[in-house]
Structure formats: structure tokens, C-alpha cells
Structure 1
Amino acid sequence: MMRGADIEAAAAGSWHSNGSPPQVREAAGATRPYEPIRVPSDESCGPSSYRPSVLASERVLLWTTPHGVTFQNQLEQLYPESYVVKLFFVMAESLDERTRNDYGAGLLHFNQFCDRLSIPEQDRMPASEILLSIFIADAAGSISSNTANNWLAGLRFWHVINGAQWHGERSECLRHVQRGLRLLAPSNLNLQHPPITLESLIQLHQGLDYSNTFDTAVLAIACLIFWCGCRLEELVIPAFDSFDMTKHVTRSILPIVTQESNNVRYSTFHIPWTKTTGNNGADINVTSRDHLTCPHAALFRHLEANPNVPSHAPLFSFQTPTGAWTSMTEQWFLKRCNQLWGP
């Protein structure tokens, strides 16, 4: 049982579709019921049956090549189709939503590059080391080395899931191109963001309006991140359409009990996922502090200001002036903080 998904049923449904490669992979994707729904990007490649118009997060699974089609056909000759569906499903599950989106972006850039150079479909996979090197070199001066690494990691995974040899592992040519790209990256891409200090948190506290439920949620998130060592993605959903009940903490954990030890108040709540523990999650210990940015006080101020948000909503959802509610997103949180912190 994987997230409650009935893989056998999906495989049986795809069996009647004559086992064409896209439909088998779609069956693997369909077994992930809690995947976020995203609006497809306006960017696209040239028309190709190998690259259907799908969400960025689904490209690593649903985009293929002549080599990938041959590989899948070979698998289906050797093993029952339900097992092939499970194979693609489990491989796709090795990546989280954000990584799949990042990899999908890299695949888009690679195939757009190949379209511009009229690279034949059969030459895109396995991609030769010179093709990989020219692709990265073409982007020199416009992307950071981290972006290039993400693009290459996505291409490598795409090769693996399609049973193709990866020629970028020990390529001296590609290694030197990556080194040159780091040196040629625009200076603004290499700027390090200053750390968030206690003074920054105080500035945020002083600039927010606590009669506003949105600002109340912003402070609670910021204080938990600063004092409790949380990551933003562990508390807040990336976007409206990316809520995942297996990763994002909801108000179903309420009520959060306050306890006291040695005259110090504290509370604990569980989040279902962290970057280091995966789906084992972690307990967040929120201890009161004698400071105006006390995380315990900020958390309960947020909960008291937003009492009518349903239990299935993300924890840091907030009520709107109309009486409805909406979820805090990473973009909204960062935008509000940056408004107060300035450039």
C-alpha cells in the first residue's frame, strides 16, 4: 500500500489500452492521488508524440524518446504490465514534488535546445557527452552553477527511468564546462543572501499589523523558523495548488496543548514530513521566551486570530475579511517579509 494507492487496479485499467508507452506511464502517475495539481507552463517544446503537454512535475515520467519506448516495450515482453507500472511508480516516488518540478524545468530547457539545433529524437537519449556539454555551455553567463547542476541531475534521472546510459558521469569535457560556467555566472547570481538575525526578526515584528490575520500568520511562521529550527517548506505550502496531506501540517493537530516546566511554557506538535526524516516527520518543540518575538506567543496569537479555519486546512491558513479562509504560501510569506526588510 503506497499512500493508499491501488497500483494493481491502475495497472489493470491500463492493460486494456494496448500497453502503449504513454498510457502505461500515465497509469503509474495516476496511482499518486495526493499529487498537487499545477497549471501547465506556457513554455513548450516543438510538437512531438514523445513529449505530451503535461505538468512540469510529470515530465520525468511521461516524456520519453525512441530509446525509452524501446526500453519499455522490452520490459513489457519480460514482465507483467502491472509490475512495469509499479516500477515507474516507485521510481517517480523517489523524488519529492519540488524536485520533480525542478527536473521538469531542466527537461524543458534541454529539449528546447535540441529543437533549436534540430537534434534528432533518437540522439537525445542516450545524450552524448558532447551534446550535454554544448547544452550547458550554451547557457553560460545566464544561469548559476546550481541551476546547471539541477538540469543535469534531471537529465540523469530521465535517462535512468528510461533505461538509457548516462554519459555525463565521467565526462572531462562536461566537467570543464561546468567549471567554466561557474566562473562566467553573472555576479548577481552568486550573491549570498545575508542571514536572518534577531534584529531582522524584531524589525519584522515591529512592521506587521496584528489586527490583520495574514500578518499574524507571517509572524508565527517567522518566529518558529528562527527559534525552533524549522524550514519554511516544512510549515508552509509552496503554492495554492501544491497542498499534499502527506507532507504539510494541517489544523487537524489542534488543539495544541500548553504545558509548563520550571515556570516555562512550552508546546509540541508533529509535522508529517521534513527534508531529513522524510515521511517520518518530526516533533516541533515550541518554548516560550522572554522576548517580543516569542514563538509560543506568536503561534497562539495566530491560532486565536483564525478560529474558524477548518481542520483539513494547512496550519497557517488565515481568515479573510469576507469570512472565508485561504492558505499561506511560501511566495506570500517571503514577499511580505521582503517588504519590511527592504532590498
Structure 2
Amino acid sequence: MTSDNAGVVAVTNKGRSHSKATNLTLKQIFALQALNGVRIRTDWFPHHIAESSIPTARPPFGENDIIIASAHTISHQFHSLPAQPQPETQSLSLNPSPFRPHCRADQQLYLWQGPNTPPSTTITHPVIEHLASLATRASLCDTRNYGAGLHKFHLFCNIFSIPETDRLPAAFELLHSFALWAVSDLSESSISSVLQVSTSIPYEPISVSVMRKYLAAVHAWHIAQGWPPPLSDNHHARINWSLRGLDNLVTSRCKPLYPPITFDMLHAIKVTLELSDPFDACIWAMASCAFFWMMRFSEVSVGSRAAFNPTKHLTRKDVFMGTDLSGKSYARLDLPSAKTACPGEIQSVFIVTEGSLCPVVTLHNLASVVPVLPNDPLFSWHNHTGEICPMIKQRALE
């Protein structure tokens, strides 16, 4: 698929978006691909290029690929999809303010200010004041992560019409309210119907752990702007009490169950991979084995190359191929570590051949495409230099 819309290209290639409404559309697109055995590939082209000059097919596109000339044809291709109710979403964005100039996230801690003048913390001398400014900026090694917390705080203030003068310094009542709002979503809770309150207030809930980081960002913002810390130990204790209660209420919402993986999804994944390629062969072996052996993704991947440990992760010698008494091929995995196993205990899992998605076949293919030594990672591939690499979780998800 070719499009002049960079956003369409990005979310289609990733398969996900920050927008709930877009994610619903992407799910429909993926369902169509799985149902029809096709794959949509996306490329960007400048809007001024004529559609007639765009090639209708080129490698690596194949007979099961969809080529669409431009962005406006996407809706035409999928107009026959059954309509699904779209959630009412409100784009949450900051109101423009002279106190919050446009800048990088790592500069917001210092450049976003308030109308109030902070109390003096040094004598009035340009050298001393300059040294204090240098010390403030050097106190934090990385301030990029604070930008998200400040952005969320000002969103809350905009929604509830908090004046700029009350944001810096912020009172305990304001920050406590900010914490309650940020982790709640009354639109998905029975509380709204019990209290008969309006659900017109927009919500963009985050987890309790992230909320604590956002409070730390507001705390750092106050100090960087010359104000005392906004919360005392007693204030933190009260906010943590509320967050703990809300965490108990919204755990099911914060961590929803993932939809089940289906055979159609596996078929859709398989047709997009080139099984003679070492990387793709490893990805397909991981997907097939994780599905049929009911393994967690962390059991077929590692966090980093240095994290691979033969005593904890599967190696090639942990796989045994055989034939049962009825003459049917099977595979056995000897798990070096498992959640249900005692320390040092090895658990074995078995699987027989299972049609076109069979993990036994995928393991045979992986062994032929990526030949390695017995102590090398089971799910591994070799790069352009021939070096054997364990499959890293983040690289696989990309």
C-alpha cells in the first residue's frame, strides 16, 4: 500500500496506535488480512507525485499483497467492513499559554513557569544566581521523562479550569485531585451510575506506578523553578493511600485481558514471513512453539544478548525429536526453568505434528536455516556477519 499520509503508513506498519478509535480500525484491517490470507505493506510517497507514476507492483510484493494508490482510497477498500460502535474520544491537548512555550521535553522542567514569583534562595548577585541556575540544571541527569508528567498535570488543570496562579506552587488538594483523576475512568465504572455524575469529563487513565512518577515530575518542577517541595511526607502518605485503593478498584481495567491468539492470526503471520530467511524463520518458530506449547513470550526470547543464560533459557540441545509408538513424529522440549518447577528441576513438554502450523516442522526448518551448536540459543538467528544472535524480545516485537 502506498500513501501520502505518513501517519497512516506508520500505524499500519506498526499495527497499533495511541488512539483507541484507530486501533479498532487496525483490528478490522488485520482481521480482513487473516480472513483472506493477504498482507498489507505500506510505503510513503510525497503528495505531489501523480498516482499514475506509482508502480502497481514491485518486489517484494507478491500475489497476496494489496497495492493501494493513495491514502484516500483506503476507506474505499474497507467500506464493506461491518460497522462497529466507535468510542467517543476527546483529544486531550494543552491550551496555549505564554507560561508554557513550545520546547523539547527535557527543557520543559526549566522553561515552563508560572505567574507567581518564587521566594529567593540566594543573595541577589548575578554570579551567585548563575551558579544556582547551573546547579539546578546539573542536579538531574535526564529530564526528558519529566515532560510527560508536566504535560499530564497541565491537562488536568485545563480540564478543571485551574488558574495558572494555582498551578505553581500547587497545593496538596490540587495534587491529590490530580492523582485521583489520572488513574480513574468513571466512564468505564459503575461509580458514575451510582453517583449519577456526568461522564463528560475526559479521562486518559494511567497506572498507579506511572502516576507516582508524574508526581515526582511535578515535585522536581517546583524545585527547579525555585519553589519548596509541594508535598510533605504526610501528604505523600495520604495520596498513596488513595492510589492504593484506586489500584484495587481498577486493576482489571489497567491490565485488561489480551484477546486470544487464533489460527487465523498465525496463518496471517506465516504468510508475511520468508521462512528461508534466518530472522523470519526464528520469528515463526517462536510464534508456533509459544502457541502450541502455551509458553509465555519471555520463555522464547531474551531481554538482551547478554541476558541469555543456558541454565535458564532454551538451547538446541533441549529439543528432542522422535516418533511415538503409532509412528507419528513428535518433539519434546526440556525446559531448564519454569514457574511451576522446583529450583534445578527440568520439566518436559511434548507436541505432535499439527498440520501447516506445526511447531515440529518449524523447528526442523529453523535447524536447517540456522545451524548452531548444542549450547547455542534455541530461538536464534545469524546476522550478515554470520554471528549467532539470540532473539531479543524488543527486536521480535518490532
Alignment TM-score, normalising by the size of structure 1: 0.45
Higher Rg of the two aligned structures: 2
Higher helix share: 1
Tell me which of the two structures has the higher relative contact order, counting C-alpha pairs closer than 8 angstroms and 6 or more residues apart.
1
TM-score if structure 2 supplies the norm length? 0.39
